[in-house]
Amino acid sequence: MDDPQARNRAVEALAALAHETRLAVFRLLVQAGPDGLVAGAIAARCGVPPSTMSHHLATLERAGLVQSARESRLIRYRADYSAMRRLLAFLIADCCAGAPEMCGDLLEGLACHE
**pLDDT tens digits along 65-109:** 999 999 999 999 999 999 999 998 888 877 777 666 676 666 665
Residue 37 has φ and ψ, to the nearest 5°, of -145, 155
Q: What CA–CA distance (Å, rounded) separates 113 from 4?
A: 34
Q: Of 50, 77, 62, 51, nearest to 17 (Cα)?
A: 62
Question: Tens digit of pLDDT for each residue in 35-66?
Answer: 999 999 999 999 999 999 999 999 999 999 99
Contacts (Cβ under 8 Å, ≥6 apart) of 10: 87, 90, 91
Q: Which pLDDT band holds residue 22 (cuts at 50, 70, 90)?
A: very high
Number of domains in the chain: 1
Where in the sequence is the domain holding 15, given as residue range(s)? 4-110
- Residue 112 clears pLDDT 60, i.e. is over it: no
Q: What CA–CA distance (Å, rounded) separates 114 from 94?
A: 30
Full 3-state SS string of the chain: CCCHHHHHHHHHHHHHHCCHHHHHHHHHHHHHHHHCEEHHHHHHHHCCCHHHHHHHHHHHHHCCCEEEEEECCEEEEEECHHHHHHHHHHHHCCHHHHCHHHHCCCCHHHCCCC
Question: Tens digit of pLDDT for each residue in 28-37?
Answer: 999 999 999 9
What is the CATH number for 49? 1.10.10.10
